[in-house]
Structure 1
Amino acid sequence: MMRTRFVSFGFSFCVTGAAIAQFVWKDLLTERISLTSEVKHKFDALEARISTLESLKLQKKESAQDEGQVRVEV
Structure 2
Amino acid sequence: MLRTRLLWFSIGFTVSAAAVSHFVWKDLWVDRHALSADMKQKFDALETRVLNLESVPHQNSISDQSVL
Q: Give the structure-1-normalised TM-score.
A: 0.76
Instruction: Show CA shifts across 1:6-65 (max 9, x none).
Output: 000000000000000100110010000000000000000000000000001xx235xx7x
Matched, 1:32 2:32: yes
Q: Structure 1 CA distance, aligned partners of 2:6 and 2:53?
A: 70
> Residue 8 of structure 2 aligns with which residue?
8
Q: Structure 2 CA distance, aligned partners of 1:28 and 1:51?
A: 34
Aligned alpha-carbon RMSD (Å) = 1.2
Q: Structure 1 CA distance, aligned partners of 2:13 and 2:58?
A: 70
Where do 5+ consecutive residues of structure 1 fail to align? 65-74
Q: Give the structure-2-normalised TM-score.
A: 0.83
Larger Rg: 1
Aligned length: 60
Where do 5+ consecutive residues of structure 2 fail to align? 61-68
Q: Structure 2 CA distance, aligned partners of 1:38 and 1:17?
A: 31
Runs of 4 or more, structure 1, over 6 Å off, are: none
3-state SS, counterpart of residue 58 of structure 2? helix
> Residue 65 of structure 2 aligns with which residue?
none
Greater fraction helix: 1
> Residue 60 of structure 1 aligns with which residue?
58
